[in-house]
Amino acid sequence: MNVSAKVSSPHLFSEEVLNFPGIEERLVEQSLVVQGRGSAMRIFYSSDAPLSMQVSYFINRMGGRSFNPLESLRIDSLPAGTNREMTVDLSRSPAWNPAMDEYLLHVRGPDGATVQIHDIDILPSSAFKSFGAMVHQLAVGEPMQLSSINYLHGYRIFGVSLSLIFGIFILLLLLVHVLMQKFGGKKFAVYARRSPCIFFALIAFAFLLYDARFSFDLIKVTASDTHQWLTDHEYRQLGPLHTMSDRLSQEEAFSDQSMSVALCFPWDDIYLKQLRYHLYPIPVQRAEQAFDSATHLVFLGMEHALTDGMISCHGTQELREAKLLDDYGRGSAIYHLSPEPRS
C-alpha cells in the first residue's frame, strides 16, 4: 500500500535568490531523464533518510541541451519511508509548456542513504490546467540577483519571453492593418485613417503594462532589501559580509601590521569581489592562493572550527595557529592568524 508523502509545495529556485545560502550536509545526487507529456509528475519511492528533489526543464540550444536553474522546481523535506508517493505540479515553473515531454529529475540524499525510485508517472494536462498555469506563470516574479544590474531574466509564459509574445502580437496587428488597407476598399477607409493612432496606443499600453509589472516586483524587492538592512544589516545573498568587512576595517585601523585577508567560501567570485570592494586597498584573495601569507582568515558559508588552536581552509593547507575574532553563524567567521604556518 502506498503512503502519500506530505511535503510543502515545490518552489522555484528563483524564489531563493535573495537569501544567503545555507550550509547543507554532504549530499549525494543522482539524476535521471523522465519522458512524458503532462502537467504533473507522480513519483513512487522508498528511502531510509529524508530526501530533496529538483525538476529541471530542458532548453535546446545550438551547443546542445541545458537548463536554467532559476526555472527549476525544488521539493524539500521529503520524508523517509517505504512505498512513498508524491506529486509535483510541473506547471508551476514558467519553463513548462503543454508540449514539453522531457525533464531532468535530480534526487539528493545524505551520503550513505539507500534510495529507490520505483516508478514515475506523468499525469496528463488539460486546457483548463494550461490556462491556470499561464495565469500562475504571469505571477512569477523577476529573479533579481546581485548580478541583475547587468542581466534581467525577464518574464516568461510556457518558456517563451513575454516581451517576444508582446512583439508578435503587435506585428500581427500591423499585418492586419496593412492587409485591410490594401484589400479592404472604401469600407475600411475611415478605419485606415484612425488605425495608426490605435496601433501606437496599443504599443504604448503594452509597454506600460510591462513596466508596471516590473515596477511591482522592484518595489517588493526594494522593501525586502530595506527591511533586511535596517533589521539585520544584511543585503540579499551577501548575508553578514557587510558586518564582517566593517569588523576587518576596524582591525586594520588599530593594527600596527599590514593586513591581508584569505577568504574560504564555496560559491562564485561575487562574494570575493564584494569583500575586496569594501576592504580596498587591503589585499583579499582566495584561501587557496594566500593562506600562508594572510593575517586574517574569513569563512563564509562553510563549517569551521579550531583544533588545538589550529585551523585551515578545506583541510588542504598547512594548519596555522589562529584566534577567533567573531562568529556570525551560518558558517561565517573571522579568525586572526599567527605569523607563521605550521605543518
- pLDDT level of residue 260 (50, 70, 90 thresholds): very high
Q: What's the whole-number mean pLDDT along residues 256-280?
A: 91
| Whether pLDDT at 341 is above 60 | no
Q: Is the pLDDT of residue 327 over 90?
A: yes
More confident residue, 78 or 196: 78
pLDDT given for residue 314 in this prediction = 79
Cβ neighbors of 252 (< 8 A, separation 6 or more) are: 259, 279, 282
Say yes or no to pLDDT of 207 above 90.
Answer: no
- pLDDT value for 6: 52
Q: Which amino acid is at 184?
A: G
Q: What is the pLDDT of residue 261?
A: 95
Mean pLDDT, the chain, rounded, equals 86
Strands 81-89 and 3-4: parallel
In the predicted model, what is the mean pLDDT of residues 300-327? 87
What is the predicted pLDDT for the residue at 4?
A: 54
Alpha helices in 287-340 (DSSP H): 287-290
pLDDT at 202: 77
Q: How far is CA 63 from CA 60, 66, 71, in A?
A: 8, 9, 20
Output the nine-digit C-alpha cell for 76: 524539500
Looking at residue 66, what DSSP letter applies? E
pLDDT, residue 1, reads 45
Between CA 225 and CA 63 the distance in angstroms is 37
Question: Which amino acid does the sequence have at 210?
Answer: Y
Q: In this structure, are strands 160-161 and 73-78 parallel, antiparallel, or unpaired?
A: unpaired
For residue 258, the 8-state DSSP code is -
User: What does the pLDDT read at residue 98?
Assistant: 93
Query: For 26-47, how does the pLDDT look when each residue is reduced to its tens digit (9 = 90+)?
Result: 778 899 999 999 999 999 999 9
Give pTM, 2 decimals.
0.77
Cell numbers representing residue 252 in the block? 586594520
Provide the pLDDT for residue 189.
Answer: 59
pLDDT of residue 316: 63
Report the half-sphere exposure of 334 (CA within 13 A, side-chain side).
Answer: 21
Q: Are 66 and 59 in contact (CB under 8 A)?
A: yes
In this predicted model, what pLDDT tens digit does every residue of 272-313 receive, in sequence order? 999 999 999 999 999 988 888 899 999 999 888 898 899 988
Using pLDDT thresholds of 50, 70 and 90, give the confidence band for residue 148: low
More confident residue, 58 or 166: 58
More confident residue, 282 or 342: 282
- Only one residue has cell 550513505, namely 112
- The pLDDT tens digits of the residues spanning 91-140 come to 999 999 999 999 999 999 988 889 999 999 999 999 999 999 999 998 89
Chain CA centroid to CA 43, Å: 24
C-alpha cell at 320: 596555522
Q: What percent of the chain has pLDDT over 90?
A: 46
Which amino acid, 248?
L
